Amino acid sequence: MTYHPKSDFMRVMTERGFVADCTDYQGLDEALVAGVVPGYIGFDATAKSLHVGGLIQIMMLRWLQKTGHQPITLMGGGTTKVGDPSFRADERPLLSNAQIDDNIAGIKQVFAKYLDYDAATPPLMLNNAEWLDGLNYLDFLRDIGRHFSVNRMLSFESVKSRLDREQSLSFLEFNYMILQAYDFLELNRRYGCLVQFGGSDQWGNIVNGIDLTRRVLDHQIFGLTSPLLTTSDGKKMGKSQAGAVWLNADMLSPYEFWQFWRNTTDADVGRFLKLYTELPVDECDRLGALSGSEINEAKIVLANEVTTLCHGANAAAAAAATAREVFERGGVGDDLPTLELTRDELGGGLSIVQVIVRAGLAKSGKEAKRLISENGARIDDAALTDAALMLDADALAAPIKLSAGKKRHALVKLADETRGSA
CB 356 within 8 A of CB 377: yes
Of 119, 258, 131, give the one whose Cα is nearest residue 190.
131
CA–CA gap between residue 99 and residue 67 (Å, rounded): 35
**Contact indicator for 265, 295 with CB cutoff of 8 Å:** no
369 is in an annotated binding site: no
Side-by-side strand order, sheet with 408-414 = 338-341, 408-414, 400-404, 377-379, 382-383
State the alpha helices, DSSP H only, in 68-175: 97-114, 129-132, 137-143, 150-155, 157-164, 171-174
Measured CA to CA in angstroms, residue 417 lies from 341, 346, 410 at distances of 10, 13, 20
416 vs 91: CA distance, rounded Å: 44
Main-chain phi, psi angles of 87, to 5 degrees: 55, 30
239 annotated as ligand-binding: yes
Q: Strand, helix or coil at 85?
A: coil
Q: Do 64 and 280 contact (CB within 8 A), yes or no?
A: no
Residues facing residue 246 across a β-bridge: 51
The Cα 22–Cα 3 span in angstroms is 11
Cβ atoms within 10 Å of 169's Cβ, excluding its own: 16
Task: Tell me which residue of 123, 128, 138, 142 sits closest to 182, measured CA to CA.
Answer: 128
3 is in an annotated binding site: no
**Is 180 annotated among the ligand-binding residues?**
yes
Write the DSSP string, 253-296.
-HHHHHHHHHT--GGGHHHHHHHH--S-HHHHHHHHT--TTHHH
Please give the angle made by the CA atoms of 384, 390 and 392, to the nearest 5 degrees.
120
- Residues 222-247 as b/e (b if ≥16 CB within 10 A, e otherwise) read bbbbbbebeeeeeeebbebebebbbb
Q: Which residues are annotated as a binding site for L-tyrosine?
A: 40, 176, 180
Q: Which residues are annotated as a binding site?
A: 40, 176, 180, 239
Q: Which residues are annotated as a binding site for ATP?
A: 239
